[in-house]
Structure 1
Amino acid sequence: MSDTTTTRTIDRLLFGDNQFFGVNHMSEEKARAQQIRFQDLDAIMHVLDDAYNEGVTTFMCTTHDRIAEVCDRVSANPDRYPDMRFFPCMPYAHKYANAITDEGLLGAIRRFLPEEGLLDSIARGTSSLARKDIEGITTLLIDAEMKMFANVSTPVIWLQNVVVDLLSGLGFTEAFRIFADHVKTRYGAEPGFITMNLPRTLDELERAGVENPLVCSNINKLGFRMSGGVDSYLDALGKRPFRAVAMSVMASGAIPAREAIEWVCALPNLEAIVFGASSRGNIAATVRLVDEYWQDR
């Protein structure tokens, strides 16, 4: 089935959440310090407020349990966050493993399924298991992940690289179509795909019939965590029909910010940049650099 959805315009700067959950690809010490700092919701909200005040109003986040608290805070204060949008990235595998350990399988199912669709979800899940129907199971899991975002705006929903790259490696491209169709029909959102191997994922999305896809991958001049190398990514950016969202543009700090942003903003086919920061100064500096180098796109 082809994707004929009209292309959405997304903000050119998206704010990520790695810093809130102790993810740093260069420094374990810094990751631990950030994890401790952001144990308190107010600390997370303070940084999100800084980003929002700098005009970065889209939060591209995992479905970590703590994000549910952020959603609740935002939905409870609509006057403070009239333009706040969330781009959920799913699944968050540790969440399921921990829930099953703590609450058992049935407890975990009750915890994650959307209440309004519980009976429908159970019916889908039961029939899916009986028929080995992957589509039913997949949509069931998507709905479980989306439960926490019920009261906030989610115009784009992403499939995480851990799943995208696994499915790509297995050649199970039909799952990409299932994800894309369900995200569009149930949530009125645009599907996005995160990958560590951009050229291969574009091939698989093309086979699945997902046209002009929104794809997020590491894009930086050092080739940091870019499977296949910089040249293959540049070739894809110049020739392939897709919309690129660049992450790790500074290669976790290995490239100076100005150099990194000047380079990535000159690339063709760039839809947006996702970045993380933990201070208003760094957020403001990134905003200024993108304003300087992202000209007439």
Structure 2
Amino acid sequence: MDRLLFGDNQFFGVNHMSEEKARAQAVRFQDLDAIMDVLACACEQGISTFMCTTHDRIADVVERARQDPDRFSALTFYPGMPYAHKYANAVTEDGMIGAVRRFMPQEGTVNALLRGGASMARRDIEGVMTLLIDAEMKMFAGARTPVIFLQNVVVDLLLGLEFTEAFAVFARHVRERYGAEPGFITMNLPMLVPVLERAGMENPLVCANINKLGFRMSGGIRTYIEMLEAQRCRAIAMSVFASGAIPPREALEWVAQIPAIQSVVFGASSAAHIESTARIARDIWGLDRSVAAATVG
């Protein structure tokens, strides 16, 4: 897994500190060319792993990358599912049946409907979950997806409901059907890790907000540090810059002191920001740009 992963928040108008900046980015990145130019810049800096949601427009990104192998031959995707707004919008636009057809996996609408209907009739949660996973993965057909994440909107809901088996179902399906490693995004890493262990996952891959200010770290920074020092999980740190409150070098130097943090995911909307972050990471971790970011773990 690379040290630096590139995220997609900026492409879809997500900024945790400035609504004005978020709106400006949403307008700018309505143009697919603008998204692809930023991704190309990341690849040029050796940051070739794109950690993304399953937003509808990501399908266009995957297709464009497939059509332009000269620029994107190294690009790898880490999908994070589900993108909840997508389902709500689809039902509003197409109705329930139209939404079902839109998201059916490659095996075909009839087979998928039969599988889903039979699962609902048996109250078979595993069948329903695997159908939804396959629907989300449809847009990534033919792309490299070595890690597949369950988004925090679902992870933390399941955590609150104490539905431990659902985590095992997700992990088993992405391993067996896609040959991928399961990952889990959460707003509460210290609470999640013991639950994943009970679900049978040793040293799970978990993505969470981790930064020296404790910004958006539910449960407090001390509990995170204790969990990470015990090395009970492999962590991907997001919000390491605390939405701009921590200078990049200071933020990455702090992260580099914690061995359990294998990677950092960050978003950027300009070539200068990407180049600066990559340069700092190379300085801190001793990365060789010619070998992309760096393999760890």
Scaled to the shorter chain, the TM-score interval is over 0.9
Give the match for residue 290 of structure 2: none
Give the match for residue 227 of structure 1: 218
Pairing partner for 2:201 from 205, 210, 220: 210
CA shift digits 1:108-165 (9 cap, x unpaired): 1111112334343222201111011110000010011001100211111000001101
Q: How does 1:6-17 map to 2 (within 5 A)?
A: 10-17=1-8
One-letter code aligned to 1:167: L
Q: Percent identity?
A: 65
The answer for unaligned runs of 5 or more in structure 1 is: 1-9
The answer for unaligned runs of 5 or more in structure 2 is: 288-295
One-letter code aligned to 2:232: P
The alpha carbon displacement at 1:77 in A equals 2.0
User: Whose relative contact order is higher, 1 or 2, with alpha carbons under 8 Å and at least 6 apart?
Assistant: 2
CA shift digits 1:147-196 (9 cap, x unpaired): 11002111110000011011001100100000000000011111000000
Question: Quick check: 1:49 aligned with 2:68?
Answer: no
Distance 1:257 1:62 in 2: 24
The number of residue pairs the alignment matches comes to 288
Pairing partner for 1:292 from 261, 264, 283: 283
SS of the counterpart of 1:274? strand
One-letter code aligned to 2:39: L
Give the match for residue 172 of structure 1: 163
**Cα RMSD (Å):** 1.2
Give the match for residue 268 of structure 2: 277
Name the TM-score, length of structure 2 as normaliser. 0.94
SS of the counterpart of 2:128? helix
* Cα pair 2:209 2:238 within 8 Å, conserved: yes
The alpha carbon displacement at 1:268 in A equals 1.9
The alpha carbon displacement at 1:295 in A equals 5.0
Distance 2:251 2:70 in 1: 35
* Cα pair 1:217 1:247 within 8 Å, conserved: yes
* Cα pair 2:237 2:261 within 8 Å, conserved: yes
Distance 2:257 2:99 in 1: 46
* Cα pair 1:71 1:151 within 8 Å, conserved: no
Name the TM-score, length of structure 1 as normaliser. 0.94
SS of the counterpart of 1:74? helix
Give the match for residue 116 of structure 2: 125
Further displaced range: 212-221 or 73-82: 73-82
Give the match for residue 133 of structure 2: 142
Distance 1:189 1:67 in 2: 19
Distance 2:41 2:81 in 1: 25
One-letter code aligned to 1:126: G
* Cα pair 1:51 1:57 within 8 Å, conserved: yes
Distance 1:260 1:79 in 2: 33
* Cα pair 1:265 1:290 within 8 Å, conserved: no
Distance 1:115 1:234 in 2: 42
* Cα pair 1:194 1:217 within 8 Å, conserved: yes
Distance 2:279 2:225 in 1: 25
